[in-house]
Structure 1
Amino acid sequence: MKKYKICVIEGDGIGKEVIPETIRVLKELGDFEFIKEHAGYECFKRCNSAIPDRTIETAKECDAILFGAVTTPKPKELEKKLYKSPILTLRKELDLYANVRPINNFEDIDFVIIRENTEGLYTNKEYYDDKKEIAIAERIISKKGSSRIIKFAFDYALKHHRKKVSCIHKANILRITDGLFLKIFNETAEKYKKFNINSDNYLIDATAMYIIKNPKMFDVMVTTNLFGDILSDEASGLLGGLGLAPSANIGDKHGLFEPVHGSAPDIAGKGIANPIASILSASMMLYYLGMKEKSKLLRDSVKSVLKKGYKTPDLGGNLKTTELTDKIIEEIKNK
């Protein structure tokens, strides 16, 4: 079996706790070469770069990237433009245009939010007009960006035996930008009817309500950058919190896997961070690398541990980060 090279970026805060635990789990499932690199606020303070060139090069050379979480710096440093976001930089450098966030509570909720990852409002194209005293951000929706993320969503549905793709938009108000996104969605949906994949579309504000009121109505969602970011964080509340929410950033040549949660400086160093989001992200990485049976084994092990009531404090339990990882490793060995 191929020995995969994994670029490991722990980042800041609890990233330095949950990523090592995830590596412990992965060592039980395969023979990997872990190459540790640096990025984040601590890295910025240490070497005046939030993401050194070496980190980017290593990420490009590896089979996948396992990413922790990074702390956002103080506003003064952001204003001086000294700090650039490591995750946004990697998404751009590696062209990781698809952000995939499964929402699955291992029981009755199971849908996936797929968001465009490289444009929309997250392009850092903001400026302040002193004369008019207004702040302006450009929202960019391109035909190319829309086409490939929508195709990715339908291909994902096909590959994972899903039955429906829903477009989430605000085309009734954002008629040009979201109008383009919805138009391309409808055109793409026609091509996938022959595969028995259904399609529909909902306004973003209504979707925010439907996720809470009736999450079972969704299967695969596809949407723009900001909408997907907000909806996926909202939906993680159905799972019990961000400590259970994994994600993947995928392009045509590279894949980066990270927990949805942030660096959580308020609990960093206390040994109580929930490692499950990171571990489930690793399960997504295994699937991406073609290790589907190992991916399922890891998910099933996490499911068993939660079903038995083993939890960290964020979920009402009392286990430490390492203790919960120990339980997951026990399940892997038992299975």
Structure 2
Amino acid sequence: MEKKRITVTFGDGIGPEIMRAVLRILQAAQAPLEWDVIEIGEAVYRRGISSGIPAEAWDVIRANRVLLKAPVTTPQGGGYKSINVTLRKTLGLFANVRPCKAYSPFVASAHPLMDLVIIRENEEDLYGGIEHQQTVEMTQVLKLISHPGTESIVRYAFEYARAYGRRKVTCMTKDNIMKITDGLFHRIFNTVAQEYPDIQAEHQIVDIGAARVAAQPETLDVIVTPNLYGDILSDVAAQLAGSVGLAGSSNIGREMAMFEAIHGSAPDIAGKGIANPSGLLQAAVQMLVHLGLGETAQRIENAWLCTLEDGIHTADIYREGLSLKRVGTEEFTDAIIER
């Protein structure tokens, strides 16, 4: 089989540790991949590049079209742009996809039947980053919701639901208050939903919707939202499922795609060998599916699940009486490869 070429970046904090673990697993599974390594993140910022991404890295990213990205650190203070926002907007990665699934009883979860996917618009809303200091005492940010952007993400959500055998798509907005912006998102959802009669469609105001994610996630299936709501909801949902450290994320565009863990660079535990590589591994599994390598993805996913079922857990998911063995990054990786 001809090998697929991807781009890899090791990131900051725990990024290098978990990326090395994931690449070891991909190699052990004989994934037909080759990769080019680029440097983005904190060290690049410190060299005076405000985006955190040097020009030569852009060339590699665009040539390979698929990026597997470890978490990066944005330095504190003004003048530094978010790498994630820059990548998503520059590469047209309009859809963020975050599956949030409970792995009970092997990983503790308050909602053992939870199995939902949050699909959020990835380029617009408040993440456009257009802010103003109107006066000494007043600031302003612009919320951008467009017809093309909304139609793209809503249609993607319904196509995803159909492709994965999901039964329902729930739109969440705050259009009882923001009647023009969120109102547009809701109206386009209603229009597009008519083209998918085989899939149940519903709308919820985001505050009660968030309460249902927290209290009754098993009643939800696919959620589609504007950018900010989806970002908040997906972190809440991932933690409810068991741990933010278990969740991966896809950023999908028409030409490019980026895959990453949803957690940050966690500099407080960097270098200690205790980080859980599962989030980045889940992102890599999504990447393999995207590349048409479903069998390899399934083999890795099954080995990872078997490791969890055998009670071999990193510190973030270890529970007395539930887990059998507490391990660090390397030993957890070894256990997956063994399986």
Q: Could you say which TM-score interval applies, normalised by the shorter chain?
A: over 0.9
1 CA distance for matches of 2:24 and 2:142? 43
User: Structure 1 residue 4 and structure 2 residue 4: aligned?
Assistant: yes
**1:130 CA displacement:** 2.6
Of the structure 1 ranges 22-31 and 153-162, higher mean CA displacement relative to structure 2 is found in 22-31
In the alignment, the residues of structure 1 paired with residue 296 and residue 53 of structure 2 have an alpha-carbon distance, to the nearest angstrom, of 31
Structure 2 counterpart of 1:327, one-letter code: A
Partner of 1:14: 14
Give 1:47 shift.
Answer: 5.8
Between the aligned partners of 2:140 and 2:49, the Cα distance in structure 1 is: 29
Which of the numbers 192, 197, 200 marks the counterpart of 1:198? 200
- Indicate if the aligned counterparts of 2:99 and 2:247 stay in contact, CA closer than 8 A: yes
Say whether the 8 Å CA contact 1:165–1:198 is kept in structure 2. yes
Name 1:123's counterpart in structure 2.
128
- Aligned pairs, number: 323
SS in 2 for 1:314: coil
Q: Secondary structure at the match of 1:91?
A: helix
| 1:84 maps onto 2:91 in alignment | no
For residues 70 and 63 of structure 1, what CA distance do their matches in structure 2 show? 20
Once the 2 structures are TM-superposed, how far is the Cα of residue 63 of structure 1 from its aligned partner?
A: 4.1
- State the distance in 2 between where 1:167 and 1:192 align: 14
TM-score, with structure 2 as normaliser: 0.92
Match of 2:109 in 1: none
Verify the 8 A CA contact 1:4 1:63 in the aligned structure 2: no
Asked if the contact 1:114–1:222 (Cα under 8 Å) also holds between the matched residues in 2, the reply is: yes
User: Residue 56 of structure 1 contacts residue 90 of structure 1 at CA under 8 Å; is this kept in 2?
Assistant: no
Q: Which letter does structure 2 place at the counterpart of 1:32?
A: L
What are structure 1's unaligned runs of at least 5 residues? none
Structure 1 counterpart of 2:322 = none
Alignment match, 2:211: 209
The structural deviation recorded for 1:42 is 2.2
Task: Spell out, residue by residue over 1:178-221, the C-alpha distance to the aligned partner (whole angstroms, 9 max, x if none).
Answer: 1000000000000111xx11111111111111112111111111
RMSD of aligned Cα (Å): 1.3
SS at 1:96 equivalent = coil
Determine which of 249, 258, 261 is the counterpart of 2:260.
258
TM-score using structure 1 length: 0.94
- Name the residue aligned to 2:326: 318
CA distance in 2, matches of 1:146, 1:303: 35
Task: Look up the match of 1:109.
Answer: 114
1:88-237 matches, within 5 Å, as 88-107=85-104, 108-131=113-136, 133-193=137-197, 196-237=198-239
SS in 1 for 2:158: helix
Q: Contact conserved, 2:45 with 2:75, CA < 8 A, in 1? A: no
C-alpha distance in 2 between matches for 1:168 and 1:130: 33
% of aligned pairs identical?
Answer: 42
Instruction: Tell me the distance in 2 between the aligned counterparts of 1:175 and 1:21.
Output: 47
Any idea what SS the aligned residue of 1:168 has? Answer: strand
Residue type of the partner of 1:191? E
* Structure 2 portions without partners, runs of 5+: 105-112, 319-324
Given that 2:41 and 2:73 are in contact with CA atoms closer than 8 Å, whether structure 1 keeps it comes out as: yes
Distance in 1, Cα, partners of 2:233 & 2:255: 27
Partner SS, residue 128 of structure 2: coil
Quote how far apart the aligned CAs of 1:135 are: 1.0
Shift of 1:89: 1.3
Aligned to 1:308: 310
Q: Which moved more, 1:145-154 or 1:6-15?
A: 6-15
Runs of 4+ aligned structure 1 residues displaced above 4 Å come to none
Helix, strand or coil: the match of 1:57? helix
Q: Secondary structure at the match of 2:175?
A: coil
Deviates more, 1:314-323 or 1:137-146: 314-323
Q: What is the one-letter code of the residue matched to 1:31?
A: P
Q: Helix, strand or coil for the counterpart of 2:28?
A: coil
Secondary structure of the corresponding residue to residue 274 of structure 1 = coil
Aligned to 1:45: 46
